[in-house]
Structure 1
Amino acid sequence: MVDNAVTKPPLGVRVRRAVSRALFIVGGVVTLICVLLPLACWRDDVAIEKRMGEAVAQVDSVAFNRTVVRYATPDGRVIIPSQGILYPDGLNVGDNVRVQYDRANPELVRVAGRSAVLSLLPVGTFLAAVWIVIAAVVTVLRRFRVQV
């Protein structure tokens, strides 16, 4: 007599599969974010290049998440972008730096001569590290039986 009943895999196998799936979902979300970030930088660069203004800015503060600069537009307005400056690597408080900004939106400002290309190396390195860790964890889960 043939039994048509479907048997469930053991709990340990189900847990390993669930963890693997969750890791791949997290990896997919991180990958999506890492693809969108350089695209957003590129979009900002295009906006600046369409209506470019140039000025010399003074660096007021440097923090992990933003570098604040102060610059004057040709009409005499002093601009301090609330979100900071794009591509601020290597700037120090008190430095004077050439900047390019969008004349229609002076809050959108970048260090002159820098572009979204600078975002590719850190984003790519981070993404590679994420997938290496995910691959290592999934490999360990598949090779070794976890008793649950």
Structure 2
Amino acid sequence: MRLDRRQLALLLPRIADGVDDSPTRKVLRWTKVGVWVAVFVVTLQSLLLVAGAWRNDRQIEANMGVAQAEVLSAGPRRSTIEFVTPDRVTYRPELGVLYPSELATGMRIYVEYDKDDPDLVRVQDRTAALAIIPAGSIAVVGWIVALGALIGLVALERRIDESGELRLGASGR
């Protein structure tokens, strides 16, 4: 199914030419605005997630230290670790370790950390590239949901009669 420009224009919030702007039409138009705002916020959040991971990687790589660490607790989104730097200072990063997937409690791993900020630490050889698929998936799902909602709103708009009221039922009344 290919959409032309006229069909794509229906997805945008707009006031139709030559039609009274009834309260029902206003609600549908503002609902479209809300859907567009939500999808852009989700897309921006996904882009910022990848940009933040990339920035953290650059910061670690600018002044990198490497140490062996022990995984104190492991989870799919957050794992806490403890490591000792070469100058014998023990750190337990408050926010855990970056890119914590596939870790288990008690594991001994190597980590890379920022010597100027040892709370910024990642599992060795893991980079921001690991954030692209989850962030992209969030954005794609957001767009699919938004397009479904917008198509539903267009269908509702088409059911509004000349008086500005929504027609219900198969007979149009």
Query: What TM-score comes out, normalization by structure 1 length?
Result: 0.90
In terms of fraction of residues, the more strand-rich structure is: 1
Map of 1:105 onto structure 2: 117
Alpha-carbon distance in 2 for matches of 1:122, 1:67: 18
User: Mapping of 1:57-68 within 5 angstroms?
Assistant: 57-63=69-75, 65-68=77-80
Secondary structure at the counterpart of residue 66 of structure 1: coil
What does 1:33-52 correspond to in 2, within 5 Å?
A: 33-52=45-64
Alpha-carbon deviation of 1:67? 0.9
Contact 2:111 2:121 in 1 (8 A): yes
> Number of residues paired by the alignment?
143
Partners of 2:35 and 2:69 lie apart in 1 by 44
Amino acid at match of 1:66: R
Structure-2 separation of matches of 1:32 and 1:47: 22
1:24 matched to 2:27: no
RMSD of aligned Cα (Å): 1.7
Residue 122 of structure 1 is aligned with which of 112, 130, 134? 134
**Hey, what's the Cα distance between the residues in 2 that align with 1:36 and 1:53?**
26
* CA deviation string 1:98-120 (max 9, x = no partner): 11001111111000000001000
Distance in 1 between residues matched to 2:75 and 2:20, nearest whole Å: 53
Alignment gaps of 5+ in structure 2 = 1-17, 161-165, 168-173
Q: CA deviation at 1:59?
A: 0.5
Q: TM-score, structure 2 length as denominator? A: 0.77
Residue 65 of structure 1: CA displacement?
4.5
Q: Per-residue CA shift, 1:10-38, capped at 9, x if unaligned?
A: 22222111111111011111211111111
